[in-house]
Amino acid sequence: MTRRGAKTGKASKTAQRESDRAVSVASEAKLTETKPTETKAPELEPAEAKSAESKSTERGPVAPKRPRSKRAENAAAQKLAAQAAKLAAAAAKAAAPVTETAPAAPATKPGAAAPKPDPKPDPKPESPAKRRAAKKYLAASSELEKIIDYQFKDRDLLDRSLTHISAVSSGGRANSYQRLEFLGDHVLGLVISDMLFQSFPKADEGELSRRLADLVRREACADVARAMQIGEAIRLGSSEAASGGRTRIAILADVCEAVIGAVYLDGGYEAAENLVEKFWGERMRVPARPLRDPKTMLQEWAQARGLPTPAYKEVERTGPHHNPEFRISVTLPDREPAEGIGRSKRSAEQAAAAALLKKVGVLRDQPDV
């Protein structure tokens, strides 16, 4: 028995003894009140008796003592019984194990309504515009899963891969697609490198590198993003969406790589490999443009004829700041200049070089740059 149990038992026994004693006293008191008692007058000496008699004669007759009424007897018995009940209750309480009880609810007046709990603050309701945007995003992202033929087990990965930094309200860049883009870029490079190695066993390192660079360049990834219909599913801030972010090549290419990274984390290497093969397999077998870009081809052609390096010059820049259009000219001695237009200076220079190669008869058709 533990020390606490011993103390509880001792308290219980003491309380029981006090209870029994109170009950016994109550019983004896009741018997004493109901049973008449006989009292014997004390014997006195003759002189004392004579003196007492004389005093009694002087005072007059003594009134007899009034007996206690039945009501008083019952009240005394009830009082003793109540004390006994209190002692018994104390004994039972001491013997019972100690338990923690919850604080009692405050008493309410009869007929009064019970106090109402404090109401929880209602969450701020979404505006109709936000509800429409959320519904549109859900439909677009679900359609994307159908197009890429992959169902995400962790939906949060897909959501992050489609979230531009301008749409992040908290958590910073970690909650945007940028980390997944970094991962997807390297997964894409690895899968395509393996595909090229297996598909072109006779190609040397230089040719494989040129093919890889052509397949993973920004424009190629943006083209794949359009085939996936990623633009409709991208989550953008209001200003970015209003400025044409859904069709911007840089954003489309980055989100495309982020989706590949998300598929890799959710389904492993095999799932990512199937996705890349689905959208890059045909592009690998039939390149969209020559393996050497027009600028490289024009420079090699000029050097082979003893001409200086082609000179490129910006002629004009038009369009808004976030989506400009460049016009670039390229010149060689004793050759008619050629011009090209593109959304970046690089693409405009490639277009100008291709136009000049076409003029000198090296290219028959202007390639898609």
Q: Kindly list the catalytic residues.
A: 185, 257
Rg (CA), the chain: 52
Alpha carbon distance 151, 260 (integer Å): 13
Backbone phi and psi for residue 44, each to the nearest 5 degrees, phi listed first: -115, 155
CA 246 to chain CA centroid, Å, is 27
Scan for tokens 């606490």, then name that residue.
4
Backbone phi and psi for residue 42, each to the nearest 5 degrees, phi listed first: -70, 145
Q: Is 221 exposed, middle or buried (0-12, 13-18, 19+ CB in 10 A)?
A: buried
Q: Which residues lie below 8 Å from residue 329, measured CB to CB, with a gap of 6+?
A: 312, 313, 315, 337, 338, 339, 352
DSSP calls for 192-248: HHHHHHHH-TT--HHHHHHHHHHHHSHHHHHHHHHHHT-GGG-B--HHHHHTTGGG-
Determine the 3-state secondary structure of 176 from DSSP: coil
Buried b (16+ CB within 10 A) or exposed e, 78-88: eebeebbeebb
What one-letter code names the amino acid at 84?
A
Q: Which residues lie below 8 Å from residue 227, measured CB to CB, with a gap of 6+?
A: 147, 279
Alpha carbon distance 59, 71 (integer Å): 33
Alpha carbon distance 321, 164 (integer Å): 20
Residue closest to 142 by CA, chosen among 162, 164, 168 = 162
